[in-house]
Amino acid sequence: MQKQLLLKGLFATLLAFVFCTACQRKEENRSMYTLRLNLQEGDLPSLHPHDVLVYLRGISASKMLFEGLTRVDAQGKISLAGAESLEISQDRLRYSFVLRDNCWSDGSPVTAYQYERSFKEALSPTSRCLQANLLYMIKNAEAAKAGKVSIDEIGVKALDNKRLVVELAYPSPYLTELLAQPICAPLIDGMEQPKRFNGPFCVDLWERDHLIRLKPNPHFWNKRDVKLQEIDFFMISDQNANFEAYKKGDIDWLGSPLSPLSREQMNHLQNELHQHPIERSFWIYLNTEHPHLSSQKIRQALSLAINRAQITEHIFLGGDPLGKMLPVNLLPVNLFLKPKEDLEEAQRLFAQGLEEMGYTKENFPPFVISYAQQANRKEFAQYLQETWTRAFGIRIELQQQEWNALRANLSKGVFDVCAVFEAAYYKDPLEILERIGQKGPTNHSQWISPEYRKLITSAIFAENTQARLEILGKAEKMLLEEVPIIPVCSDRLLFAHSKGLKGYAFDSLGALDLSYASPE
Q: Give the model's pLDDT for residue 2.
A: 41
Mean pLDDT of 214-220: 98
Mean pLDDT of 30-41: 80
**Rounded to an integer, what distance in angstroms lies between the CA atom of residue 42 and that of residue 469?**
38
CA distances from residue 390 to 201, 295, 318, 368, 383 in whole angstroms, order as listed: 52, 20, 27, 16, 11
Average per-residue pLDDT for the chain: 90
Contacts of 314 (CB under 8 A, 6+ apart): 263
Quick check: 256 pLDDT over 70? yes
Convert the pLDDT of each residue in 275-319 to its tens digit: 998 888 999 999 999 988 999 999 999 999 999 999 998 898 778
The CB-side HSE value for 305 (13 A sphere, CA atoms) comes to 22
Convert the pLDDT of each residue in 411-445 to its tens digit: 999 999 999 999 999 889 999 999 999 998 899 99
CB 410 within 8 A of CB 401: no
**Percent above pLDDT 70 for the chain:** 93
**Rounded to an integer, what distance in angstroms lies between the CA atom of residue 395 and that of residue 390?**
10
The interaxial angle of helices 343-357 and 296-305, nearest 10 deg, is 160
Residue 145: left (phi > 0), alpha (psi -120 to 50), or beta? Answer: alpha
| 8-state DSSP, 398 | E
Which of 515, 501, 36 has its CA nearest to residue 234? 36
Quick check: 32 pLDDT over 50? no
Q: Give the model's pLDDT for residue 215.
A: 97
**Rounded to an integer, what distance in angstroms lies between the CA atom of residue 445 and that of residue 425?**
19
Q: Give the model's pLDDT for residue 337.
A: 77
- The count of residues in the chain is 520
Handedness of CA 120, 124, 129, 133 (dihedral sign): positive
**Rounded to an integer, what distance in angstroms lies between the CA atom of residue 44 and that of residue 57?**
8
CB 48 within 8 A of CB 197: no
| pLDDT confidence bin for 191, thresholds 50/70/90 | low
Q: HEC states along 255-278? A: ECCCECCCHHHHHHCHHHCEEEEE
Q: Give the model's pLDDT for residue 6.
A: 40
| 95 or 7, higher pLDDT | 95
Which of 259, 226, 253, 277 has its CA nearest to residue 499? 253
Q: Report phi then psi at 292, rounded to 5.
A: -80, -10
Contacts of 52 (CB under 8 A, 6+ apart): 44, 46, 58, 59, 61, 62, 182
Convert the pLDDT of each residue in 5-20 to its tens digit: 343 443 333 333 333 3
Q: How much is the CA Rg of the chain, to the nearest whole Å?
A: 26
Handedness of CA 277, 459, 321, 488 (dihedral sign): negative
Q: Give the model's pLDDT for residue 20.
A: 38
**Rounded to an integer, what distance in angstroms lies between the CA atom of residue 57 and that of residue 393?**
39
Q: Of 10-14, 259-263, 413-417, 492-496, which gets the smallest average pLDDT? A: 10-14
For 450, other C-beta atoms within 10 Å of its C-beta total 8
Q: Of 117-121, 322-326, 358-362, which gets the smallest average pLDDT? A: 358-362
**Rounded to an integer, what distance in angstroms lies between the CA atom of residue 300 and that of residue 447?**
14
Tell me the one-letter amino acid at 170: Y
| 8-state DSSP, 41 | T
**Rounded to an integer, what distance in angstroms lies between the CA atom of residue 47 and that of residue 45?**
7
CB 485 within 8 A of CB 479: yes
Q: Give the model's pLDDT for residue 212.
A: 97
Q: Give the model's pLDDT for residue 317.
A: 77
Quick check: 26 pLDDT over 90? no
**Rounded to an integer, what distance in angstroms lies between the CA atom of residue 285 and that of residue 303?**
11
Quick check: 86 pLDDT over 90? yes
Which of 18, 54, 66, 204 has its CA nearest to residue 132? 54
**Percent above pLDDT 90 for the chain:** 74
- Burial of residue 287 (CB within 10 Å: 0-12, 13-18, 19+) is buried
CB 190 within 8 A of CB 106: no
Looking at the DSSP bridge assignments, the partners of residue 214 are 203, 231
Residue 169: left (phi > 0), alpha (psi -120 to 50), or beta? Answer: alpha
Contacts of 472 (CB under 8 A, 6+ apart): 331, 333, 429, 430, 433, 455, 459
CB 376 within 8 A of CB 311: no
Looking at the DSSP bridge assignments, the partners of residue 213 are 205, 232
Convert the pLDDT of each residue in 39-80 to its tens digit: 998 999 899 999 999 889 999 999 999 999 999 998 889 999
Q: Report phi then psi at 75, rounded to 5.
A: -90, 5
* Domain architecture of the chain: domains with CATH: 67-197 (3.90.76.10), 277-493 (3.10.105.10)
Convert the pLDDT of each residue in 144-172 to its tens digit: 999 999 999 999 999 999 999 999 999 98
